[in-house]
Structure 1
Amino acid sequence: MIFETIPFSTMTQQFSTSISINSPLFKCSFIFLIQFVIFTYIHIFSYLCVLFNYFLFIDLSISTVIVSFSRFIKFQTNLRQLSNYCRNERFFTSFLKIIILTSINFSTN
């Protein structure tokens, strides 16, 4: 069997061209790295939100259960009650409750 030898200079030249900035491999790996970093930060941020805002999630789950038991109330009446309740709550919690109530009301009607 005859083995073909490749000179070292040719190997380094091929390697350097495959890692150049304009190569598709570099672009693909760079895009993957950026996506990985972004998604990692998003996951870390969401875990921190869960740790520091667990009262919000408990409050939302309780309100979801209450709303699911009050299906007989019409949509406008429910929103009026919710707006009265939300005056005493933080804005973000109120906004999320309105979204949950709206989705439950549309799904039950």
Structure 2
Amino acid sequence: MDQNSFIWIGSIGGSLLGVLGGVIGTWCSIRNTSGPRERAFMVRTAAVMWLLISFFLLLLYFLAEPWNRLIWIPYTIGLTTGIHYCNRRQQAIREAEATNHQGH
């Protein structure tokens, strides 16, 4: 095998492993919810995150230099802010569902 073959195998294998990790992480996040509102929130959040991350990857691939490198700045800020917001929102939904469940 030549070096080009190893590059292709690594690229395809790494991409498949990344997508598989995302699918498993999404499945676990949805599966570990406590109630219907939290589950619905996680499904919506997962769909939005998959779309936004796919859009980021397309921009990273198709934008010319140096823009494809500069796209990391808003991506990093947006991803960390989004994760922080979603974690707080999920916790609030979980607490509301627990309180609502105890009231019945």
Which TM-score applies when normalising by structure 1? 0.32
Greater C-alpha Rg: 1
Greater length-normalized contact order (CA 8 Å, ≥ 6 residues apart):
2
Which TM-score applies when normalising by structure 2? 0.33
